[in-house]
């Protein structure tokens, strides 16, 4: 993927999607957990009135007083078929009590209930989805069989038949079969109940304790542990959770869409400086290499801008050198071409002026131009690394002296004296041709430019060959540029015997042979060239 924008989008958008999904899921489940915890807590609270009423029933209390701490609970909900609040109990004698709201349906008895509450989600046969609490409840310490309210009761009825199933709670608490079994006051008695007037089973009537007035009080007497399952419809909580899920999903989609837009805007803003750099870079061409990127960039781009500025500076320098070189080459060629042209035109226009000397001059000019071209080609080959180095054992002493021969006459004319400190048996394994180019150029320069009547000293050692002569008016500032192509100390000299390529060529030859060619001005003001084997 080539685009940073696309790459960031690919990472950011799924990342945000996952983040939003995880956040929504976490929110949903934490709310769900909170609601269920609260629901469970309310369910647990519902067990208390059920237990109370159960004990009231078991003790035969016809009109149990609902304690104050039950006031907040809708205990009458057990009576209403559509209340979504249910309970059912089982004692060890398999007597079953259940709320009227259950109607004809039964809750399943949960196995192995203890006093530790258990919770389950159930689906009732009527389709109601409920959450239920199941636990074992025990009678309070003061409970007596048939003893009235928490008094002694008539004892539990015998037999574990289906007929033992009694819906007394609903009748007693929600709708009285008789005034004595009504809990909740006369107003409760007036409420119509579907099972009003139902005959209580025989066993029930026989077992129920009687009050002071001799009227039967009902109740089984002290029960053993009773398994109770209290259930409450989840409809409200499920609706809440469904709405929450919808809300989270909707806001999640909105958030994702907003994220896409915001991420694109943020990326656009964030990448704008990068695009600006790209635009600036696109505008830079060979004619505008002096352009530099501004330094007031974001921290992340500043190193890139600095690196690009450095690169531009190097390219500009390189271009400038090439331009100068091209200009210098053109200049180098202009003079010999002008010489040839003017000589030819004179010979054409005034033939009587032409003589053999003119032709010799034409030949000399041609030779010099050829030498210039060959030097340029050799330099180009060396700089491209295309020169082939052919190693052989070369006697340094012989090579240096043979290279000096062409310049000896000129040196003599300028009263130069050369001293060789060379071992005639010393050999270097090197390229004879390239080494000759180096030595010839150094000696040629010395013969041409060393101050008149000066002494040249050429020294050969195992690893180094040096040539020293008085520096004259050369300064240390000249040492570095003198290896540039077409460099001349005296720019005004246009004689074509020295084009200014010699030292550049010599250094390229040295580089090709992995040697080092340096120049220095010694304390004795000697210009010393050193060719060192590496």
Partner 1 sequence: MRVLLVEDSPRLRKSVTTALKSSGYAVDSEKDGEEGLWQAQNHEYDVVILDIMLPGLDGLQILEKLRKEGNEAPILFLTAKDTIEDRVHGLRSGADDYLVKPFALEELLARVETLSRRKYQKRTSKIQVGDLELDSAAKTVQRAGQSIDLAAREFSLLEYLMLRKGQVVSRTQIEEHIYDDMASPMSNVVDSAICALRKHILVDKESVPLIHTRRGQGYVMESRQ
Residues that bind partner 1 (CB under 8 A): 327, 330-331, 334-335, 337-343, 345-346, 349-350, 353, 361, 365, 490-496
Minimum distance from residue 447 beta carbon to partner 1 (Å): 19
Reference 433, options 403, 464, 467; nearest CA is: 403
CB of 481 to partner 1, least distance (A): 18
Nearest distance from C-beta of residue 323 to partner 1, angstroms: 11
Nearer to partner 1, 126 or 489 (CB): 489
Task: Name the minimum Å distance from CB 364 to partner 1.
Answer: 8
Nearer to partner 1, 250 or 359 (CB): 359
The three state secondary structure string of 94-155 is CCEEECHHHCCCCCCCCCCCCCCCEEEEEECCCCCEEEEEEEEECCCCCCCCECCCCCECCC
State the nearest-atom distance from the C-beta of 413 to partner 1, in Å.
Answer: 17
The single residue listed with the structure tokens 């629901």 is 39
C-beta of 345 vs 409, nearer to partner 1: 345
Q: In this complex, which beta carbon is closest to partner 1, that of residue 182 or of residue 499?
A: 499
* Spatial separation of the C-alpha atoms in residues 401 and 177, rounded to whole Å: 144
* Closer residue to partner 1 (CB): 62 or 332: 332
Three-state SS letters, 8-39: HHHHHHHHHHHHHHHHHHHHHHHHHHHHHHHH
Please give the C-alpha separations between residue 124 and each of 105, 106, 258, in angstroms, as whole numbers.
8, 8, 44
Q: What is the CA radius of gyration of the chain?
A: 57
Beta bridge partners of residue 429, listed in sequence order: 393
Inter-CA distances, 35 with 20, 244, 252, Å: 22, 11, 21
Would you say 79 or 332 has its CB closer to partner 1? 332
Of residues 274 and 340, the one with the C-beta less far from partner 1: 340
Q: How far apart are CA 435 and CA 423, in angstroms?
A: 17
Comparison of 256 and 329: residue with beta carbon closer to partner 1:
329
Cβ-contact 58, 153 below 8 angstroms = yes
Instruction: Report the nearest approach of partner 1 to the CB of residue 281 (Å).
Output: 29
Dist CA 112 CA 39 (whole Å):
23
41 or 494: whose CB is closer to partner 1? 494
Residue 291 CB, nearest distance to partner 1 (Å)? 21
CB atoms within 10 A of CB 261: 10
The least CB distance from residue 451 to partner 1, in Å, is 16
| Contact (CB, 8 A) for 175 and 195 | yes
- Min dist CB 354 to partner 1, Å, is 9
Give the pairing type, strands 464-470 and 526-533.
antiparallel
Q: Is the dihedral of CA 156, 159, 160, 166 positive or negative?
A: negative
Report the residue number, 244 or 340, with the smaller CB distance to partner 1: 340
> How far apart are CB 336 and partner 1 at their closest, in Å?
8
218: buried, middle or exposed (CB in 10 Å: 19+, 13-18, 0-12)?
Answer: buried
Residues, the chain: 534
């Amino acid at each position: 993927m080539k685009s940073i924008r696309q790459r960031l989008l690919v990472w950011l958008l799924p990342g945000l999607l996952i983040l939003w999904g995880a956040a929504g899921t976490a929110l949903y489940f934490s709310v769900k957990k909170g609601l269920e915890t609260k629901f469970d807590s309310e369910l647990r609270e519902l067990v208390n009135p059920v237990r109370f009423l159960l004990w009231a029933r078991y003790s035969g209390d016809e009109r149990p007083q609902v304690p104050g701490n039950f006031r907040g609970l809708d205990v009458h909900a057990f009576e209403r078929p559509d209340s979504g609040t249910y309970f059912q109990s089982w004692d060890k004698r398999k007597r079953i009590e259940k709320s009227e709201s259950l109607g004809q349906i039964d809750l399943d008895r949960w196995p192995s209930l203890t006093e530790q509450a258990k919770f389950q989600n159930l689906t009732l046969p009527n389709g109601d989805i409920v959450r239920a609490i199941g636990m074992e409840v025990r009678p309070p310490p003061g409970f007596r069989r048939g003893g009235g309210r928490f008094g002694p009761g008539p004892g539990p009825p015998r037999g574990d038949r289906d007929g033992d199933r009694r819906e007394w709670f609903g009748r007693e608490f929600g709708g009285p079969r008789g005034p004595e079994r009504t809990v909740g006051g006369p107003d409760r008695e007036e409420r119509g109940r579907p099972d009003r007037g139902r005959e209580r089973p025989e066993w029930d009537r026989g077992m129920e304790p009687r009050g002071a007035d001799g009227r039967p009080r009902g109740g089984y007497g002290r029960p053993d542990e009773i398994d109770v399952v209290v259930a409450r419809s989840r409809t409200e909580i499920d609706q809440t959770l469904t709405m929450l899920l919808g809300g989270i999903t909707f806001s999640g989609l909105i958030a994702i869409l907003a994220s896409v837009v915001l991420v694109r805007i943020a990326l656009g803003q964030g990448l704008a400086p990068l695009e600006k750099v790209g635009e600036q870079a696109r505008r830079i061409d060979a004619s505008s290499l002096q352009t530099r990127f501004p330094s007031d960039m974001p921290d992340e781009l500043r190193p890139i801008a600095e690196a690009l500025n450095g690169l531009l500076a190097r390219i500009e320098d390189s271009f400038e050198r090439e331009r100068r070189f091209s200009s210098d080459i053109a200049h180098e060629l202009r003079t010999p071409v002008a010489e040839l042209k003017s000589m030819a035109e004179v010979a054409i226009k005034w033939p009587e002026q032409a003589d053999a000397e003119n032709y010799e001059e034409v030949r000399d000019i041609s030779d010099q131009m050829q030498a210039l071209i060959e030097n340029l080609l050799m330099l180009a080959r060396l700089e491209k690394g295309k020169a082939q180095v052919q190693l052989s054992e070369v006697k340094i002493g012989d090579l240096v002296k043979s290279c000096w021969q062409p310049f000896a006459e000129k040196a003599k004319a300028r009263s130069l004296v050369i001293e060789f400190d060379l071992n005639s048996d010393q050999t270097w394994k090197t390229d004879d041709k390239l080494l000759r180019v180096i030595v010839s150029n150094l000696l040629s320069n010395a013969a041409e430019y060393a101050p008149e009547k000066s002494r040249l000293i050429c020294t050969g050692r195992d690893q180094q060959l040096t040539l020293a002569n008085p520096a004259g008016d050369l300064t240390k500032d000249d040492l570095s540029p003198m290896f540039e192509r077409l460099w001349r100390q005296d720019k005004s000299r246009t004689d074509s015997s020295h084009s200014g390529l010699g030292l550049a060529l010599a250094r390229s030859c040295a580089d090709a042979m992995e040697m080092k060619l340096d120049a220095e001005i010694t304390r004795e003001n000697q210009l010393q060239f050193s060719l060192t084997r590496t």
